[in-house]
Amino acid sequence: MWYSVYTCDISHINEEKRRKEKCMKNLKTSTKTHFPLFSRGLARGGDKKSAFTLAEVLITLGVIGVVASITLPTLIKEYNKHAWVNALKENYSLLNQGFKKMMADDGVEFITDTEVWRAMVVGSCYSGHSDFDNFKDFYSQLGKYFKIIRIDIGSDTGNVYKYKYRNSSYKIPVSGSIIYLSNGAMIWSYVFNKTASIRSNCDEIRSAGGHMCGNAGNFNIDINGNKGPNEFGKDIFRFYITERGQLAPFGGNDHAILRASNSLTQENIDQYKAIKGLNGECLVGTGSENGGETCAGLLIDQLNWKMDY
């Protein structure tokens, strides 16, 4: 009689058990190696010392607040300076191009010979005039070259616009008319001279590097309108209009040479540049010319468009 003997091979069961033991061992090792805080929390039922305390959070916030209070005003100040300079560059270019085109259209050398200037039939146009009808044609002609959206005529404009000089906290109501441009700028305290008296020593002035022998007008411009701070040297600047239709910044090189034209020595010219610009009117003083009117010349001609004051 034959008997069948059956054997059971359990080797595969033992192999599976060994793999599971090895896997668990590797898992424990990995947890301890890569997640020490998590592992410690599991072992101790959650270790609260691994988190920030309320005191630590408050101290951190306090430090951040102190740093922000120190750096934020400086950042805002530099941002404003950058914005003011860019706006001044835009308006400086806009006005120069307008006057240049005005003369090119009429084929003339002097701005006082243009059709626009000849429209001033009763004399010079200035912001303090009260008879708008006599200058209606001039303003209309001027609007062909500059995007004028409106003109406020009269003395009550001080109710809507006030300005101040540098180093002064007192705001002064503007007196006279205001010309509003489409880019938000405002022109005020202006004079457009029907005739520009040319200096007899113009050749000498040009030999000294000047480009201004006569004054065809002057004006203040607030480059961002009534947004503020409405202060000379920040968003308000003053310019001359030369007889050839170029802008000459008040307190700049051409302005200094014109003021020194009675004695055009280099020493005299340099004295005007220094006193009326870098060390004088733009930075210190309390009068009209001592309160920032010459900052245009300082910024453009001496500081190369950097508002380092």
Look at residue 99 and tell me if it is in a domain: yes
Look at residue 7 and tell me if it is in a domain: no
Q: How far is CA 102 from CA 80, 105, 233, in A?
A: 33, 5, 29
Same domain, 18 and 67: no
Note the Cα 33 to chain centre separation in Å: 56
Same domain, 27 and 163: no
Look at residue 3 and tell me if it is in a domain: no
Look at residue 212 and tell me if it is in a domain: yes
Same domain, 178 and 91: yes
Same domain, 18 and 75: no
pTM, full prediction: 0.76
Look at residue 185 and tell me if it is in a domain: yes
Same domain, 37 and 143: no
- End-to-end Cα distance, the chain: 120
Q: Which residue from 78, 174, 193 is spatially nearest to 125, judged by alpha carbons?
A: 193
Same domain, 88 and 34: no
Same domain, 140 and 84: yes
Look-up of token digits 């708008």: 132
**pLDDT 10s digits, 89-130:** 999 999 999 999 999 999 999 999 999 999 998 789 999 887
Look at residue 208 and tell me if it is in a domain: yes
Same domain, 76 and 210: yes
Domains of the chain: total: 2
Look at residue 51 and tell me if it is in a domain: no
Enclosing domain of residue 25? 14-41
Report the chain (309 residues): mean pLDDT per 10 consecutive residues: 43 63 60 44 50 86 85 89 97 97 97 95 85 88 95 77 86 92 96 90 92 94 95 95 94 88 84 60 56 87 90
How crowded is residue 1: how many other Cβ atoms within 10 Å of its Cβ?
A: 2
Q: How far is CA 184 from CA 148, 177, 188, in A?
A: 10, 16, 13
Residues 252, 300: Cα–Cα separation, whole Å: 7
